[in-house]
Amino acid sequence: MARINGKNIEISQNITVLQYIEQQELNLSVIAVEYNGNILPKSQYGEKVIKSCDVIEIVNFVGGG
């Protein structure tokens, strides 16, 4: 199981970060992904395969004033 946003998640084999984001219907333009303690560049979302030992945080940007 991977740990995503503090929850243990059972993931399909060979699912990328991008595929997971799309499954969750998240807006790519307003999120950032921390992958095992490092910010993952958006250009790598489609390349990085989620493994069972990974710890991922997906955060949304919220505008305000």
Which domain range does residue 16 map to? 2-60
Residue 65 lies in a domain: no
> pLDDT by residue (tens digit) across 8-54?
999 878 999 999 999 999 999 999 999 999 999 999 999 999 999 99
* Per-residue confidence (pLDDT) for residue 65, from 0 to 100: 65
Q: Where are the beta strands (DSSP E) in 1-65?
A: 2-4, 7-9, 31-35, 38-40, 55-60
Query: For the chain, what is the domain count?
Result: 1
Residue 56 lies in a domain: yes
